[in-house]
Structure 1
Amino acid sequence: MELKDILKGLKEKKITPEQAKEEIKKLNSNYKSNEQECTPQEYTANDQVIAIIGISGRYPNASNIQEYWNNLEKGINGVREIPNSRWNLEEYYDPDKNKEGKFYCKWMGMLDDIECFDSLFFEIPPSEAESMDPQHRLFLQEGYKAFEDAGYSRTTLNNKKCGVYLGIINGEYSGLSKQNGVENNSITGSSNAIGVARIAYYLNLKGPAIPIDTACSSSLVSTHLAIQSLVNGEIEMALVGGVSLYIDPESYVGMCSAGMLSPDGKCKAFDNEANGFVPGESVGAIVLKRLKDAQADHDHIYGVIIGSNINQDGRTNGITAPNLGSQIQLARDLYDRYNINPETISYAELHGTGTKLGDPIELEALSTAFKEKTDRKNFCEIGSVKNSIGHTSAAAAMASIHKVLLCMQNKKLVPTLNVTKLNEHFDFKDSPFHVNTETKPWEQNGPYRASVSAFGYSGTNAQAVIESYDETAIQQLERKLSLMKSIRVYFYYQQETKHN
């Protein structure tokens, strides 16, 4: 048990003070043996390097980050047949793609218990909570948990210049309420501006609260905008998230009418039989700080973002059609601006929506940008979490970022499912890439580096490069001593309360 777990356990009354003292004794013996090994190490950083200090999320078949990792590591598919508790399949499902008003795909990566919400914890009257879009409720919960994971309480966040940036698209709840004859006169319940501001209101945060909709790239664009605000000194901390739910069957019908979905319910990015994506639901959040500030505050650091970039396709064959040139330029500008040699990137989490003609465009774009800097072949493993949980739309990049951070933390790569024969429209042998289809150690000389990509059908593209962070021995000791101080303060106030 780590110190932050002991402190959290005390606050939540999951462990007694006596148990906490015993755990601290065990840790103290380890600290003393390691103290002599503390030697300064340099971490090459500048003001543009951003630390990820807190994470939280819910994914299909995973109610928290640890369950998410367990599923990824074991190669568990989170996509399942839509139950009648969500929609009546007898009414909507028909395998005939040409049936109007029906859907030919009956699978989805679904979240459970999306109706559950402790409104009183967030000081929201139950009557008001009922009118809130469940996406807003989910982000409020996971955003709070991300702060908690970072070690920040409501008291320490009070009046802090912390921005909130949320990728969010769908707003189906209000329409669904009307369809079912439910009176819903609340203009705040369906407003995404209010949805992202809820946590700022609850915690008294003083940075901007901004909902962002660039379709499937929303949460990575949100991450980039938060980074820019941190770099420019406009804020001192950021909460970034993405959320996506499918609660109205009409949007699902619309995707089927457009021919977007996989008839067999499998997202097969990079595979020769790729035939569309499967919708997915998720909510995820990360807490960001400038690296130098996170180090000074002894925060736990999951990883660092060493560069990010966004751009737009402009005019193409159609407003939803991808632009190869823009995707190449996106990566090229990112690597040049932040002096990143793609040869140091050993894993790439691609957008990978799972279409036979769309996937090669993303692969060709990234391959071109890599080849401008290196001639090496097949050195960079690639994957797409969409094959495991479905395409989670506005939250897709949060799923990718969490996956990358968990792989770095566990020093393992996890399989991309549903790949049996590689896409014939891309020459993998003559590329820098290799599709990873198994759980295996992540081999890397030096820090782990990974890129994350996201492309919106609106034409707004985003990419970021994440690097692992290894604390120096001195920083580890300083952070542990800081947590020890917090625990001593907790004990002091507990004793004072009993005494009084």
Structure 2
Amino acid sequence: MTLSTKQDRDHIVISGMSVEAPGGIESPASFWSALAESRELISPFPRDRGWPIDDLLSVSRHDGWGKVSDAGGFLDGAAAFDPAFFGITQREAIAADPQQRVGMRVAWQALENSGINPGALDGADAGCFIGASPMEYGPRAAEVNPYSGHRAVGLASLSVAGRISHSLGLTGPSMCVDSACASSLSALHLAATAVRGGECEWALAGAVCVMGSPLAFYEFAKNNALSTDGHCRSYADDATGTLWGEGAGVVLVEHESRARRLGHRIYGRILATCTNHNGKGRPILVPRAHAQERLVRKAIDIAGIDPADVGMVEGHGTATRAGDPAELTALQNTYGAAGSSPLLGSVKSNAGHAQAAAGLLGLIKLLLAGQHGYIPPSLFSENPTTKVDWDRSSLRLATKLQPWEPNNGVRYGAVSSFGAGGSNAHAIIAMPVREESDDF
């Protein structure tokens, strides 16, 4: 099924993007190079954050605890920030969670990528929706310390979006979204809904994850769901668990007519965004195949496309015993049963699990694949998990860089996320072969 004609409705599109990822990635171009070259962006734990590294690496001495490897996906520039540039004091900047600082920087870059002058937006009717989760940064707020007075606003889950809106002068809706690892695509959903509903003229949608403490490593070591070998082997049979990482990404969302009028590049048309919840029953951390399948089917229905047209699926791919089989079952029952051969992968295999930012890194990977016309490989895909029957559907792992042929001038892709609190999110994107294509 092809897209409806342009005059049917004014679609919501993505017309700007920026990304920071582990391995020194600070631009979409460098991100694409790493993906296309099958580079793993994992490094040892940072030694400049005051983390108890020795204790962390020896937690397996406790009964019932798993191994923690000296590995993760960490941002090189997590601490880099120019407070004067963004109009705040040095002390306030130090007190602000680094997720706020990185978020402000990446939002600025997304605007520049779209061709907008970030310094000329004061009073703009624009929204800001940012996914972020608390990361235990800095001293306790309930004590006297040199940063008292700045801690209330400095808490990440309160003010990442607020910082961005304040620094740019945006006057539309502004909110942080915390649905754990589904936060990114939930933020995208809210942004697209706000623009479509006229709450704002355009919006920034994004997510950020910078670990202020090694909390996530301790938690998943206790749950025996952390990688024991320092790799995130998404969908692989030798996967032992997930590997935590960091990242940030922001996209600009607006009506297609506005993007074309202002000469913005259209990276993709948002055909559908959906979120849902697992509901009660099994433990809250356990993913549910039926809930994810229900969500994907709803998104396909909203998008109004033949699921067989979807050529690339950027999955969640946590590399956990429960997560990958549940997700694969849902994708096999939907895209894999549609009669085509969609290729599946996860950016987590390159950079680790960026938690709240995971979905945005996956979305930007999808947009870059559509732009370049190639589907990048998913690492460790040569040994697919045996927890599902791959022969029962046409879904396959992306094992190498290969051309992505368009369908009537458009490439269709999908991206999935699910969170520890039971939330699921899914998006379907259509990407033009070239910006000026009359077929889009």
Q: What TM-score, normalized by structure 2, do the two folds share?
A: 0.92
- 2:383 and 2:257 map into 1 onto residues whose CA distance is 45
CA offset digits 1:46-94 (Å, max 9, x no partner): 5462111111111001122221111111111001221433435334312
Shift of 1:412: 1.1
- 2:368 and 2:131 map into 1 onto residues whose CA distance is 21
Equivalent of residue 74 in structure 2, options 101, 110, 119? 110
Give 3-state SS (helix, strand or coil) of 2:266's partner.
coil
The corresponding residue for 2:99 is 135
The corresponding residue for 1:493 is none
- 1:177 and 1:387 map into 2 onto residues whose CA distance is 36
Shift of 1:416: 0.6
The corresponding residue for 2:287 is 322
Equivalent of residue 407 in structure 1, options 369, 387, 390? 369
The corresponding residue for 2:261 is 296
The corresponding residue for 2:404 is 442
In the superposition, relative to structure 1, how do residues 358 and 328 fare at CA in structure 2: closer, same or farther (>3 Å)?
same
Indicate whether 1:249 and 2:196 are aligned.
no
Asked if the contact 1:167–1:222 (Cα under 8 Å) also holds between the matched residues in 2, the reply is yes
Q: Match for 1:468: what amino acid?
A: M
Shift of 1:247: 2.5
Indicate whether 1:240 and 2:205 are aligned.
yes
Give 3-state SS (helix, strand or coil) of 1:468's partner.
strand
Give 3-state SS (helix, strand or coil) of 2:154's partner.
coil
Give 3-state SS (helix, strand or coil) of 1:253's partner.
helix
Equivalent of residue 459 in structure 1, options 422, 433, 437? 422
Indicate whether 1:90 and 2:60 are aligned.
no
- CA-based RMSD of the aligned residues comes to 2.5
Shift of 1:251: 3.8
Give 3-state SS (helix, strand or coil) of 1:401's partner.
helix
Structure 2 stretches lacking a partner, 5+ long: none
The corresponding residue for 2:242 is 277
| Bigger radius of gyration | 1
Superposition pairs for residues 336-485 of structure 1, below 5 Å? 336-370=301-335, 374=338, 376=339, 379-446=341-408, 447-469=410-432, 470-472=434-436
Give 3-state SS (helix, strand or coil) of 1:188's partner.
helix
Give 3-state SS (helix, strand or coil) of 2:390's partner.
coil
Asked if the contact 1:316–1:322 (Cα under 8 Å) also holds between the matched residues in 2, the reply is no
The corresponding residue for 2:185 is 220
- 1:439 and 1:475 map into 2 onto residues whose CA distance is 26
| Structure with the higher helix share, 1 or 2 | 1
Aligned residue pairs total 432
Give 3-state SS (helix, strand or coil) of 2:47's partner.
coil
- 1:434 and 1:101 map into 2 onto residues whose CA distance is 34
- 1:183 and 1:205 map into 2 onto residues whose CA distance is 27
Asked if the contact 1:170–1:244 (Cα under 8 Å) also holds between the matched residues in 2, the reply is no
Shift of 1:134: 0.6
Shift of 1:279: 0.3
Asked if the contact 2:343–2:397 (Cα under 8 Å) also holds between the matched residues in 1, the reply is yes
In the superposition, relative to structure 1, how do residues 370 and 220 fare at CA in structure 2: closer, same or farther (>3 Å)?
same
- 2:136 and 2:94 map into 1 onto residues whose CA distance is 14
- 2:437 and 2:303 map into 1 onto residues whose CA distance is 27
The corresponding residue for 1:8 is none
In the superposition, relative to structure 1, how do residues 437 and 371 fare at CA in structure 2: closer, same or farther (>3 Å)?
closer
Structure 1 stretches lacking a partner, 5+ long: 1-41, 477-500
Shift of 1:344: 0.4
- 1:371 and 1:441 map into 2 onto residues whose CA distance is 19
- 1:455 and 1:204 map into 2 onto residues whose CA distance is 32
Shift of 1:433: 0.8
Shift of 1:102: 8.9
CA offset digits 1:129-188 (Å, max 9, x no partner): 111111000000110111111111145422221110000002311347999976544221
* Deviating more after overlay: 101-110 vs 163-172: 101-110
- 2:435 and 2:46 map into 1 onto residues whose CA distance is 46
CA offset digits 1:17-50 (Å, max 9, x no partner): xxxxxxxxxxxxxxxxxxxxxxxxx954654621
* Deviating more after overlay: 152-161 vs 433-442: 152-161
Asked if the contact 1:416–1:437 (Cα under 8 Å) also holds between the matched residues in 2, the reply is yes
In the superposition, relative to structure 1, how do residues 475 and 350 fare at CA in structure 2: closer, same or farther (>3 Å)?
closer
- 1:397 and 1:111 map into 2 onto residues whose CA distance is 17
- 2:160 and 2:436 map into 1 onto residues whose CA distance is 39
Equivalent of residue 175 in structure 2, options 194, 210, 219? 210
In the superposition, relative to structure 1, how do residues 264 and 163 fare at CA in structure 2: closer, same or farther (>3 Å)?
same
Asked if the contact 1:271–1:356 (Cα under 8 Å) also holds between the matched residues in 2, the reply is no
Q: What TM-score, normalized by structure 1, do the two folds share?
A: 0.81
* Deviating more after overlay: 98-107 vs 426-435: 98-107
CA offset digits 1:307-336 (Å, max 9, x no partner): 111111111211222222211110111111
- 1:191 and 1:381 map into 2 onto residues whose CA distance is 36
- 1:48 and 1:319 map into 2 onto residues whose CA distance is 39
In the superposition, relative to structure 1, how do residues 468 and 139 fare at CA in structure 2: closer, same or farther (>3 Å)?
same
Q: Match for 2:330: what amino acid?
A: A
Q: Match for 1:389: what amino acid?
A: A
Asked if the contact 1:159–1:206 (Cα under 8 Å) also holds between the matched residues in 2, the reply is yes
Indicate whether 1:158 and 2:154 are aligned.
no
Give 3-state SS (helix, strand or coil) of 1:138's partner.
helix
Give 3-state SS (helix, strand or coil) of 1:448's partner.
strand
The corresponding residue for 1:200 is 165
